[in-house]
Amino acid sequence: GENVEQHPSTLSVQEGDSAVIKCTYSDSASNYFPWYKQELGKRPQLIIDIRSNVGEKKDQRIAVTLNKTAKHFSLHITETQPEDSAVYFCAASDPNSSGSARQLTFGSGTQLTVLP
């Protein structure tokens, strides 16, 4: 099955700096890569996702890049703010497998702390 590795496990940045979190995946059939933000005690919430037919996607201060050849993808947060502090999880999935509800396989998470 799919295996997703994520690093770093913790990341501290100064407010206003950029943060980068990286993930690798093992299953070349995976073609959907979401990033979830989880605040303490809350549900994971989707912040951005990318499909394998695209190399980069941007949404305001958040961007994701995907290298299918190398099987890795990254989350970039620019101009970080204290409210960006949370645990971020990457995930991979092949949601288009016919007849099956392919699940997400999550990375181990990155605790991002933005210092004011």
Partner 1 sequence: EPEVTQTPSHQVTQMGQEVILRCVPISNHLYFYWYRQILGQKVEFLVSFYNNEISEKSEIFDDQFSVERPDGSNFTLKIRSTKLEDSAMYFCASRPVANTGELFFGEGSRLTVL
Report in angstroms the alpha-carbon separations of 50 from 1, 2, 25, 63, 67: 20, 17, 14, 10, 11
Determine, following the binding rule CB under 8 A, whether residue 40 of this chain makes contact with partner 1: no
Determine, following the binding rule CB under 8 A, whether residue 24 of this chain makes contact with partner 1: no
Q: Which of 75, 89, 112, 114 binds partner 1 (CB under 8 A)?
A: 89
Phi, psi of 80, rounded to the nearest 5 degrees: -60, 150
Determine, following the binding rule CB under 8 A, whether residue 68 of this chain makes contact with partner 1: no
Q: Which of 69, 70, 101, 116 binds partner 1 (CB under 8 A)?
A: 101
Determine, following the binding rule CB under 8 A, whether residue 105 of this chain makes contact with partner 1: yes
Determine, following the binding rule CB under 8 A, whether residue 32 of this chain makes contact with partner 1: yes
Amino acid at 71: K
Q: Which residues of 60-87 are buried (b: 16+ CB within 10 A; e: fewer)?
A: eebbbbbebeebbbbbbbeebeeebbbb
Phi, psi of 12, rounded to the nearest 5 degrees: -115, 130
The residue count for binding partner 1 (CB under 8 A) is 24
Q: Which of residues 41-60 bind partner 1 (CB under 8 A)?
A: 42-46, 49, 51
Q: Which of 16, 28, 96, 115 binds partner 1 (CB under 8 A)?
A: 96
Q: What residue ranges bind partner 1 (CB under 8 A)?
A: 32, 34, 36, 42-46, 49, 51, 89, 93, 95-96, 100-109
